[in-house]
Amino acid sequence: MALFQIAEPGQAQAPHQRRLAVGIDLGTTNSLVASVMSGSAKVLVNEQDEASIPSVVHYQEDGTVLVGSAAQAKAVADPYNTIASAKRLMGKGADDLSDTLFADRYLFDTDSGSLPAFKTQAGNKTAVDVSSAILQSLKNTAELSLGGELVGAVITVPAYFDDAQRQATKDAATVAGLHVLRLLNEPTAAALAYGLDAKEDACVAIFDLGGGTFDISLLKMQRGLFEVMATAGDTALGGDDFDHALAATLAEQAGITDLSDASQQRNLLNIARGIKEQLSDQTSCGFDIPLADGGSYKGTIDRDQFNALIEPLFKRSLKSCRQALRDANIEKSDVDAVVMVGGSTRVPLVRDRVSEFFGRTVLTDINPDEVVAVGAALQADVLAGNKPDSELLLLDVIPLSLGLETMGGLAEKVIPRNTTIPIARAQEFTTYKDGQTALALHVVQGERELVSDCRSLARFELRDIPPRVAGAVRIQVIFQVDADGLLTVSAIEKESGVVASVDVKPSYGLSDSEIEQMLTASMEHASDDMLARALQEQKVEADRVVEAINSALASDGDEHLDSDERTVIDQAIGDLQTARAGDSTDAIKSAIAKVEKVSNAYVERRMNATVRKMMAGKQLADVESDTSDT
Ligand code: ADP
Ligand code: MG
């Protein structure tokens, strides 16, 4: 998705009116909150003096909810009631439980509606519930530290999050009583933290290696446009994998063979994680592993040994980097800055190898675990109105056109692609049949002319439309896309005021490469599409003509036509229906002309009869009004 900057007028605030706003990095492994204070963004610490908290929630039997380190401390003893990595399930359905991370670690309830829920002793909890508990805790930290109520937060999400995942994130914020100023892509936040948006034409790589996921994003800043050129990554690569590799080695060294116990396994992983983190600062590390017989195993491991263990894992990230460069169609040398994001980029091997790969020193000045929250805080400060007018505001554009299906399976674009959001657009539609009282609306996304070539987003119906002749009813359809790219479509019938609306939360979004594909297809098929559209339009016209003439014939055909005349008209209608079934636009066009020609006299007679009736009526009315005047 592309981003671009505009100045938001009238948002300046006097300094004493400073509004409290925060940026939140809601991570898979760790979460943190930051805010701009005295001109610079700082991460806020909680009462335990922690800048970042584990994204872990523990549910107790009495309903008490523990968040962060307190929850993490329960993970070994009570794994089922201690939920970690819930972000992976945000906006996902029951099918996505096949993710091994979840399948063999938690108990699930998939019966209650479509959202899968973790079974805990305090009841079923969805990923939204878990995220909401984390957000609530960060909100408390911020309000305590800033000394007031927050006006809102900018929450970051991975660039590849689809509408359902973004909506789930917003829902979690709502449940936590947190106003979302906007959702911001994590790589964009990191680029903002380094002020890279100020560099015209700059091409930036954001290398984000977290706890369980790896993302590489290539952004380009162009004429005020911050565009995501490509994203790639590995949803099963992160610091956790380093922990597993190291834990296996530790177990081997300590002679532990039985790894079936979940608590024991968790314990070993915790030790491994501690060693790994120390090895980022020192070249060797001693350790102590408790054994089943009550004793313990003491050993040391050095950085080179650790590097050898993680080398094959790390290499997978470079594969994704090559993929992203290919997708963006650029060379390594075109990249002007490489930003390190995520706790795992503290590992020296990672920094060295990524620098080597891109041929330039990677940016690490801003703490890689904090850089996303810092960027989000800068953005929140602007959105809350704490910056003078001259400050710029990042806005997204919609990547693909949004529209409605019209008669004949044609797609009518309501909001064209690349329109800046938020946006609202209205368009009028009408009924197709006489007396039609309901309208089926089909919301589609894409650049192609035929609905069958576009992506279906939602269907809904507008009912209780007052019955009128075809074309007389005016229905206004409004498309609204909010700042987070979420679409609401509503339809209102002007005369009666009946309304219907739908929020579009498609369960699966499109990746950048799919969007690219749809755009390429629309260009490749442009001329075919125009021909297809012309044919469909002619077919719709044919249906309209047949419908109109048949309904006229049914009402007064016998009155105005003798049987020979009727035969000629019926023959022409039959020919038109045959032509309509074929795929020649011209044949349908001439068949329509034929029907119109042979029914000319009939239409004229009907018209005269109607005029006669109207005149008679008018005279009667005039007489009545004359009498009432006297
Ligand atoms: P996420 O974005 O998934 O929430 P983070 O960016 O917070 O994750 O990264 C968490 C990962 O970073 C964990 O695997 C953690 O062990 C690792 N990590 C944190 N500090 C260090 C360090 N000093 N050296 C190596 N790895 C670290
Ligand atoms: Mg992260």
Is residue 70 within 8 Å of 58, Cβ to Cβ?
yes
From the candidates 162, 186, 240, 512, give the one annotated as an active-site residue.
186
pLDDT for 3:
26
Question: What would the mean pLDDT of 181-207 be, rounded to a whole number?
Answer: 89
Q: Are residues 499 and 536 in the same domain?
A: no
Separation between Cα atoms, residue 162 and residue 386, nearest integer Å? 30
Cα distance between residue 116 and residue 126, in whole Å? 6
- Is the pLDDT higher at 251 or at 520? 251
> CA 214 to CA 341: how far, in whole Å?
10
Is pLDDT of 480 > 90?
A: no
Query: Nearest C-alpha to atom 10 of ligand 1 is from which residue?
Result: 211
Q: How many domains does the chain have?
A: 3
Mean pLDDT value across residues 403-419: 84
pLDDT surpasses 60 at 10: no
pLDDT at 13: 35
Residue 487 placed within a domain? yes
What are the angstrom distances between the C-alpha of 146 and each of 36, 42, 52, 176?
Answer: 10, 11, 17, 18
Tell whether 224 is covered by a domain: yes
Ligand 1 neighbour 28 (Cβ under 6 A): yes
Ligand 1 neighbourhood includes 375 CB (under 6 angstroms):
no
208 is catalytic: yes
Strands of 423-429's sheet, edge to edge? Answer: 423-429, 475-481, 487-493, 499-504
Answer whether residue 464 is part of any domain: yes
Q: Which of 24, 28, 30 to mutate to test the pocket of ligand 1 (most atoms within 8 A of CB)?
A: 30
pLDDT at 5: 24
Cβ–ligand 1 contact at 342 (below 6 Å) = yes
Q: Is the pLDDT of residue 435 over 80?
A: yes
| Residues forming a β-bridge with 476 | 428, 492
- Terminal Cα-to-Cα distance of the chain (whole angstroms): 74
Three-state secondary structure call for residue 355: helix
Let me know if 74 is a catalytic residue: no
Residues 35 and 175 both lie in one domain: yes
pLDDT bracket for residue 19 (50, 70, 90): confident
User: Which tens digits make up the pLDDT trace of 516-568?
Assistant: 666 666 666 667 777 887 888 888 888 888 888 888 898 888 888 999 999 99
User: For ligand 1, is residue 396 a contact (CB within 6 Å)?
Assistant: no
Q: What is the pLDDT of residue 497?
A: 87
Which residue, judged by its Cα, is nearest atom 13 of ligand 1?
211
Structural domain ending residue among the three candidates 334, 367, 396: 396
Residues whose CB falls within 8 Å of the CB of residue 157, separated by 6 or more in sequence, listed in order: 26, 165, 166, 169, 183, 184, 185, 186
pLDDT band at 506 (very low <50, low <70, confident <90, very high): very low
Question: What is the 208 CA–ligand 2 centroid distance (Å)?
Answer: 7
Q: Is the CB of 27 under 6 A from ligand 1?
A: yes
Q: What is the pLDDT of residue 425?
A: 87
* Residue from 26, 209, 349, 369 whose mutation best tests the ligand 1 pocket (most atoms within 8 A of CB): 369
Q: Is 210 in the pocket of ligand 1 (CB under 6 A)?
A: yes
pLDDT of residue 409: 86
Ligand 1 pocket, 303 CB below 6 A? Answer: no
Of the candidates 137, 226, 607, the residue with the CA atom closest to the CA atom of residue 420: 226
Does 85 contact ligand 1 (Cβ within 6 A)? no
Distance 438 CA to ligand 2 centre (A): 48
Amino acid at 51: A
Ranking 27-36, 590-599, 606-615 by mean pLDDT, the lowest is: 606-615
Chosen domain end from 367, 396, 425? 396
Q: Sign of the CA dihedral 99, 100, 101, 106? A: positive
Element (H, E) at 503: strand 499-504
DSSP 8-class letter at 404: E
The arithmetic mean of pLDDT across residues 436-462, rounded, is: 85
How many Å lie between the centroid of ligand 1 and the Cα of residue 344? Answer: 5
How much is the pLDDT for 615? 65
- Give the phi and the psi of residue 308 in degrees, each rounded to 5: -65, -35
Where a domain ends, among 352, 380, 396? 396
Cβ(346) – ligand 1 distance below 6 Å: yes
Q: Which atom of ligand 1 is nearest to the CA of 52?
A: 7
Q: Work out the mean pLDDT of the chain and round it to a whole number.
A: 84
Active site residue 186: yes
Q: Is the same domain home to 152 and 91? A: yes
Most confident of 57-71, 85-99, 412-426, 616-630: 57-71
- Residue 472's pLDDT is 85
Q: Is the pLDDT of residue 203 over 90?
A: yes
**Of 330 and 625, more confident:** 330
What secondary structure does DSSP assign to 508-548, as a single string?
A: S---HHHHHHHHHHHHHTHHHHHHHHHHHHHHHHHHHHHHH
Q: What is the pLDDT of residues 253-281, one digit of tens each?
A: 998 887 777 777 888 999 999 999 999 99
In a domain, 488, yes or no: yes
Instruction: Tell me the CATH number at 32.
Output: 3.30.420.40
Q: Which of 129, 197, 208, 396 is catalytic?
A: 208
Between CA 591 and CA 570 the distance in angstroms is 12
- Ligand 1 atom closest to Cα of 341? 6
Is a pLDDT exceeding 50 seen at residue 392?
no
Instruction: Tell me what pLDDT residue 348 has.
Output: 97
Stronger pLDDT, 511 or 321, i.e. the higher one? 321
For a mutational test of ligand 1's pocket, the pick from 240, 344, 364, 367, i.e. the residue with the most ligand atoms closer than 8 A to its C-beta, is 344
Asked if 250 and 276 count as a contact pair (C-beta separation under 8 A), the reply is no
Task: Establish if 4 belongs to a structural domain.
Answer: no
- Ligand 1 mutation pick, 277, 313, 364, max ligand atoms within 8 A of CB: 277
- In this predicted structure, the answer to whether residue 502 has a pLDDT above a threshold of 90 is no
Q: What is the predicted pLDDT for the residue at 536?
A: 84
Rg, C-alpha atoms of the chain: 32
Tokens of 327: 């997708």
Q: Pick the most confident of 505-514, 597-606, 608-617, 619-628.
A: 597-606
Residues 490, 385, single domain; the answer is no
Q: What is the residue-wise DSSP string for 143-181? A: HHHHTS--SEEEEEE-TT--HHHHHHHHHHHHHTT--EE
Tell which residue, 500, 434, 2, 60, has the closest CA to residue 224.
2
Are 59 and 94 part of one and the same domain?
yes
The closest-lying atom of ligand 1 relative to the alpha carbon of residue 55 is: 4
Looking at residue 523, its pLDDT comes to 64
Residues 416 and 440 in one domain: yes
Q: Is residue 114 over pLDDT 80?
A: no
Asked if residue 531 and residue 386 are part of one domain, the reply reads no
Q: Is 455 or 567 the better-scoring residue by pLDDT? A: 567
How far away, in angstroms, is 30 Cα from ligand 1 center? 8
pLDDT in the model for residue 619: 44
Range with the largest mean pLDDT of 127-136, 470-479, 501-510, 620-629: 127-136
Dmax (CA) of the chain = 118
Which residue out of 87, 125, 276, 539 is catalytically annotated? Answer: 87
Q: How far apart are CA 227 and CA 515, in angstroms?
A: 14
Which tens digits make up the pLDDT trace of 562-592?
999 999 999 999 999 999 999 899 999 999 9
The average pLDDT across 149-157 equals: 95
Q: What is the CATH number of the domain that holds 511?
A: 2.60.34.10
474 and 533, same structural domain? no
Contact 366, 193 (CB under 8 A): yes
Residue 157 has a pLDDT of 93
Least confident of 59-73, 235-249, 435-449: 435-449
Confirm whether 7 is domain-assigned: no
Helix residue ranges, H only, 50-162? 69-72, 100-103, 127-146
Share of the chain above pLDDT 90, in %: 44
Q: Tell me, what's the pLDDT at 102?
A: 67
23 lines ligand 1 (CB under 6 A): no
pLDDT computed for residue 109 by the predictor:
76
| 624 part of a folded domain | no
What is residue 312's predicted lDDT score, i.e. its pLDDT? 96
Is residue 473 very low, low, confident or very high in pLDDT (cuts 50, 70, 90)?
Answer: confident
Ligand 1 binding pocket includes 212 (Cβ within 6 Å): yes
Same domain as 229, residue 352 = yes
Catalytic residue list contains 381:
no
The pLDDT tens digits for 274-300 are 999 999 999 999 999 988 788 899 999
In a domain, 378, yes or no: yes
> Which tokens in the block code for residue 461?
């119906």
276 lines ligand 1 (CB under 6 A): yes
Ligand 1 atom having least distance to the Cα of 240: 14
Percent residues over pLDDT 70 in the chain: 85
Q: In the prediction, which pLDDT does 21 show?
A: 95
Query: What's the pLDDT score for residue 223?
Result: 55
Give the pLDDT of residue 624. Answer: 35
> Dihedral, CA atoms, 256, 258, 261, 265, nearest 10 degrees?
40
Could you say which ligand is closest to the alpha carbon of residue 87?
1
Residue-wise pLDDT tens digits, 52-94? 999 999 999 998 999 999 999 998 888 889 999 999 889 888 7
CB contact set of 552 (below 8 Å; sequence gap of 6+): 602, 603, 606
Q: What is the mean pLDDT of residues 158-181?
A: 88
Question: CA torsion, points 109, 112, 118, 119, in degrees to nearest 10?
Answer: -60
Q: Is the pLDDT of residue 14 over 50?
A: no
Q: Are residues 68 and 212 both part of a single domain?
A: yes
Identify the weakest region by mean pLDDT among 106-110, 120-124, 494-498, 509-513: 509-513
Domain containing 501 equals: 398-523
More confident call, 375 vs 406: 375
CATH number at residue 571: 1.20.1270.10
Cα(224)–Cα(6) distance, rounded to whole angstroms? 8
For residues 120 and 212, membership in a common domain is answered with yes
Do both 36 and 118 map to the same domain? yes
Q: Which pLDDT score is estimated for 134?
A: 98
Is residue 186 predicted with pLDDT exceeding 60?
Answer: yes
